[in-house]
Amino acid sequence: MHQRKPEKNTSEDTALYGTQYFAAPEQLLGYGSSSPATDIYGLGATFNYLITGLYASQIISPGRYKSVIEKSVKMDPENRYQSIEEFEQAILAV
């Protein structure tokens, strides 16, 4: 694992570390700030792995949760669910 502390007076608060395939790109690459969407990425990646046994970069579950997982693991955090409540509602709506 790599770890980097952000410089003072920057908008970054994310250290470079995480588990490959499960950590959000902003955690692994160290750009931007952490947000609930950062955790949503990890939840979506884990959910996909539990269903398929494969990483989201290999395959997204083709089943009923496909759209939920796809949105959860978007590269851009702005395009993911923005809260756990939003993520939960999407799962329950399937």
- pLDDT tens-digit series, residues 8-53: 444 555 455 678 899 999 988 877 788 999 999 999 999 999 999 9
Enter the pTM of the model: 0.80
> Residue 57 carries which side chain, given as an amino acid letter?
S
pLDDT value at residue 31: 78
- pLDDT tens-digit series, residues 71-82: 999 999 999 999
pLDDT tops 60 at residue 61: yes
| Residues 6 or more apart whose Cβ sits within 8 Å of residue 59 | 48, 52
pLDDT value at residue 12: 53
